[in-house]
Chain A
């Protein structure tokens, strides 16, 4: 490891606050980017499963048919 101690890693000779802020924000954005669509996919499927009357079976999906 480049740093001698945990304290040195956290402070980074005065630059610690800047560096760690960027990494924490990056972590938050990445987590949001990955988790949000996974949760939305679940929600969409649950909504569809809860309203079976609204699902009108079509043999071939319309956009597949077009092509």
Chain B
């Protein structure tokens, strides 16, 4: 008990400067702008390289032919849809525990981006399923749990809009996203726990991957590019939300004057 209290104090002291900076909207707005200036172009270039590599240069699959090229969209979208949920739930938890406003901004910004990636994973999976499984849609464990993930993301978006009091909205959404965390291990393990049409993972962190390097490298590139894309979209959405919430402050007022002086 005593040890735990000391540990909590140490964490609080160590995290304070970081929290303090991230809690400052003008600082967050400025640093995200500086990051996006180089990160967004690099991300778009990586996406183009990965797509061209996957579409034109990697060889066809010996069993699935060329339809497997959908993998270069499908797998990165699904991986980042799950990673994005961690980001959203973690931000929600930070908002609940430490009442950190910027975490609430991050959670609200992550939800629509995660929903878009989940939709892309489901859509590409459906199109891939037609030539491979013979059906657009199968009520398979993996597919169904991903559909639930989409509903969780959309639920957070809708719940946020349903409240007039944005503080209450943030708390309710944080609770919803934390409860929804239970779905994440189900998605991961669905191909092992249930008899599934969906194939198990081909890339393994430990042990031999069952995918040829000629297909693995473009796939890894696309996964990295999708992670970067998620980060960019998260920051872009956070910046809009920051301006909305801080619209009455001096720094936003002068920013609006500076940026729109040539327009008006």
Q: What is A's interface to B at a CB cutoff of 8 Å?
A: 1-3, 9, 12-16, 18-19, 21-23, 25-26, 29-30, 32-34, 37-38, 40-41, 44-46, 48-50, 52, 54-59, 61-64, 66-67
A40 & B232 in contact (Cβ 8 Å cutoff): no
* Stretch from B157-165, B186-194, B201-209, B249-257 forming part of the interface with A: B249-257
B58 & A2 in contact (Cβ 8 Å cutoff): yes
A33 & B128 in contact (Cβ 8 Å cutoff): no
Chain B, residues 209-245, CB within 8 Å of chain A (1/0): the string is: 0000000000000000000010011001101100111
Q: How many whole Å from A34's CB to the nearest CB in chain B?
A: 7
Specify which of B73, B102, B255 is in contact with A26 (CB 8 Å cutoff).
B73
Specify which of B119, B131, B240, B248 is in contact with A37 (CB 8 Å cutoff).
B240
Enumerate chain A residues within 8 angstroms of B26, measured Cβ to Cβ.
61, 64
Pick from B25, B26, B248 the residue with the most CB of A within 10 Å.
B248
Q: How far is the CA of A14 from the CA of B58 in the complex (A)?
A: 17
Q: How many whole Å from A18's CB to the nearest CB in chain B?
A: 5
- List the A residue with the shortest CB-CB distance to B235: A37
Interface of A is mostly: helix
- How many of chain B's residues have a CB under 8 angstroms from any CB in A? 63
Specify which of A19, A32, A57, A61 is in contact with B70 (CB 8 Å cutoff).
A19
Q: How far is the CA of A16 from the CA of B247 in the complex (A)?
A: 49
B66 & A64 in contact (Cβ 8 Å cutoff): no
Specify which of B57, B73, B243 is in contact with A45 (CB 8 Å cutoff).
B243
| Also in contact, A37 and B20, with CB within 8 A (given A26-B120, A49-B256, A59-B250) | no
B59 & A2 in contact (Cβ 8 Å cutoff): yes
Pick from A52, A59, A64 the residue with the most CB of B within 10 Å.
A64
B237 & A63 in contact (Cβ 8 Å cutoff): no
B56 & A9 in contact (Cβ 8 Å cutoff): yes
- List the A residue with the shortest CB-CB distance to B113: A33
Enumerate chain B residues within 8 angstroms of A25, measured Cβ to Cβ.
120, 123-124
Q: How far is the CA of A36 from the CA of B70 in the complex (A)?
A: 25
| Also in contact, A1 and B56, with CB within 8 A (given A37-B239, A49-B264, A57-B253) | yes
Specify which of B60, B70, B119, B240 is in contact with A2 (CB 8 Å cutoff).
B60
